Structure 1
Amino acid sequence: MEIIGHRGCPVYGPENTIAAFKTASEYVDMIELDVQRCQTGELVVFHDTALSRLTQLDGAVPAVPWHKLSSVTIGDSTATIPRLSDVLSIFPSEVGINIEVKHGGMAEEIESLVETISNRIIVSSFIPHALTEFTTDTIECGYLFDSEWESQIEIAQSLGCDAVHPAYELVTPERIEKAHASGLQVNAWTVPDTKTARVLQQYGVDGAIVDDWTVVETPHPMHVETQTIA
């Protein structure tokens, strides 16, 4: 089971920042990050639409120009909001990159940016039409959802996705088996603890999206005692 560092594993550094990505890259198989477009058109790496949770700025990312976003720090750290173009070059080639797109209209630019690197790329989104905009065969697509497994699997298949990214609470062995039979990998989010990670690994989950990379152990699933998610 691959370890996918959610927003760069914010347990160890401010989320979605270069500092967090550099640290997590030493411990995970893939980094997950969030991308949206700001007022002046730059693709910025930031999860929330609103800026207030993590910065001293009010307002929403799409309404703020890059020169203002680039000058604010995240929480009580010195880390700043990066652009997607700033972060792609920092990852070792063996570390995959999962780009969650927060809205449509970014595919062409993202495809152009990732042409310059050799990392495995997965683009994921809760928004079906945002995924249909990606056309290159070198980018994998993952459909995010947090409810209604069966209907969401049908959507993922209709989109031609390579993977589904469900909330971990939805996962069962039978659902994993059916997803795999349909040609879909399963990357579950956000896995909170070692017990849950152990169960998901036993179920056959392909990737665990985590805030803390240490929750995932490495033994083969056949050596894990049968358990269930509480």
Structure 2
Amino acid sequence: MRVIAHRGFAADAPENTVSAIERASRVADSIEFDVRRCGSGELVVVHDERIDRVTDGTGRVADLSLSELQSFDVLGSGESIPTLDDVLAAIATDVDINVELKETAIASDVLDALGRVENDCMVSSFSADALQAVRSHDRPVETAYISRWLRDQPVRRAIELDCEYVHPRFTLLLYSRVLSRPRSVDLEVNVWTVNEPLLARAMAWRGVDGIATDAVEVARPYL
């Protein structure tokens, strides 16, 4: 079972920072992080639409320039919100990369950035439009449809979007077809976000292909 460091093991280090990503890449099979475009046009690694939760600043990422973003401290780390290129440079080449697209219009630029690294790369998103944008560029990158609810019809949507993976919330594994149906159509299943050791063992027993977790200790038995 592969271990995916969610936002660079966000329970152990300030999420989506260069130091968190670099540290996580020493142990994880894959690093997951989120990408948006900031107000001055650069691609930056931050989960939320606003910076209020993760920095000592306030405002929408889309309204703030890179220089403004870099003036704020991420969760007391002494680091600022990094660019996509900064984060990619921090990941060892033998570690897989999982970029979650938070916006549709950034697909082409994200693919260009991923094309400059040697890592195996995946692009994931809750947004069907974002994944369709990725596929429209005909690049050799795998994709994953992320789902939170059964009403998202995760397997059907992943097939329609020509994905290699489906990423359901772990609670959906209460429904056996969410795991059995992907197997019949050659989809791999990575679940999120698994932050309890007992739950990780349950997911391993169920036979998922990977877990995304915030905590390296939860992942330790599978590293």
TM over 0.5: yes
Question: Of 167, 170, 173, which residue of structure 2 is paired with 1:168?
Answer: 170
Instruction: Please give the secondary structure, in 2, of the residue aligned with 1:116.
Output: coil
Partner of 1:73: 73
Question: Closer, same or farther in 2 for the Cα pair 1:149/1:195, shift >3 Å?
Answer: farther
Question: Closer, same or farther in 2 for the Cα pair 1:150/1:11, shift >3 Å?
Answer: closer
Deviation at 1:149, TM superposition (A): 6.0
Q: Is the 8 A contact 1:3 1:213 kept in 2?
A: no
Deviation at 1:212, TM superposition (A): 0.7
Deviation by residue 1:53-85 (Cα, 9 ceiling, x = unmatched): 111211111111111001211122201110001
Instruction: Please give the secondary structure, in 1, of the residue aligned with 2:183.
Output: helix
Deviation at 1:214, TM superposition (A): 1.9
Amino acid at match of 1:163: Y
Matched residues in 1 for 2:138 and 2:80: separation?
31
Q: Given the alignment of the two structures, is residue 200 of structure 1 paired with residue 216 of structure 2, yes or no?
A: no
Partner of 2:141: 139
Q: What is the total number of aligned residue pairs between the two structures?
A: 219
The normalised TM-score by structure 1 is 0.91
The normalised TM-score by structure 2 is 0.94
Q: Given the alignment of the two structures, is residue 124 of structure 1 paired with residue 127 of structure 2, yes or no?
A: no
Structure 2: give runs of 5+ residues left out of the alignment.
Answer: none
**Alignment map for 1:1-230 (pairs within 5 Å):** 1-134=1-134, 135-148=137-150, 151-171=153-173, 172-216=175-219, 217-218=221-222
Instruction: Please give the secondary structure, in 1, of the residue aligned with 2:182.
Output: helix
Q: Is the 8 A contact 1:142 1:164 kept in 2?
A: yes
Matched residues in 2 for 1:173 and 1:119: separation?
33
Q: Is the 8 A contact 1:101 1:124 kept in 2?
A: yes
Q: Is the 8 A contact 2:125 2:145 kept in 1?
A: yes
Matched residues in 1 for 2:12 and 2:22: separation?
11
Deviation at 1:218, TM superposition (A): 2.9
Q: Is the 8 A contact 1:173 1:203 kept in 2?
A: no
Structure 1: give runs of 5+ residues left out of the alignment.
Answer: 220-230
Deviation at 1:138, TM superposition (A): 2.1
Deviation at 1:51, TM superposition (A): 1.0
Structure 1 range deviating more: 61-70 or 167-176: 167-176
Deviation by residue 1:145-193 (Cα, 9 ceiling, x = unmatched): 1001672211111000110111001014443121121111111000011
Matched residues in 1 for 2:15 and 2:71: separation?
16
Deviation at 1:204, TM superposition (A): 1.2
Question: What CA RMSD, in Å, does the superposition of the two structures yield over aligned residues?
Answer: 1.5
